Amino acid sequence: NQIRMADFRRTDLSSLPLQVTLYFNSLYLIVSFLGELAILIYKATLLSNPSRNLWPEVVLLFLLMGVEGTRMSLGTKGNLTQSKVPLLFSIVFSFPSIAGYLYFMLWQTFVLRLEVIITSISLLGIFPHILFGFIALWMFHRYDTQYA
């Protein structure tokens, strides 16, 4: 029963900055979802927002939160298990999230200043995820090619 030397070289390559970014993004996701939902209710009751525009925005908000939850879950799984595929998919899911946040920030029927602030913070959380995700992917790949 010979043990390979590669088994002893296995190091923890998980990225702490990526994990911290994902953790705080997941906390802020709850805040941004509740804030945006409250703003949509405010718009429906106090502004003359046509209902034909309101329901697609509510559906888009729930879709965006689903994509964001999936993005963060895949990023966490890929980082902690040092798996390239889930981490790569979490980076890919960042781009629909960016598009959704840009919609809420720029292209809604009514855009409130509070929405611009909420979505700007959300967007600022995505970019470190992309950066640290690519760094972690590079480290996982480098380790796999060096010790495979």
* Residue pLDDT, tens place only, 39-74: 999 988 888 777 778 889 999 999 999 999 999 999
Q: pLDDT for 14-44, tens place per residue?
A: 899 999 999 999 999 999 999 999 999 998 8
Residue corresponding to tokens 């995505």? 126
> pTM to 2 decimals?
0.87
* Residue 92 neighbours by CB under 8 Å, 6+ apart: none
Token representation of residue 30: 């709850």
**What is the three-class DSSP state of 109?**
coil
> Among the listed ranges 44-53, 72-81, 105-114, which one has the minimum average pLDDT value?
44-53
Residue 10 pLDDT > 60: no
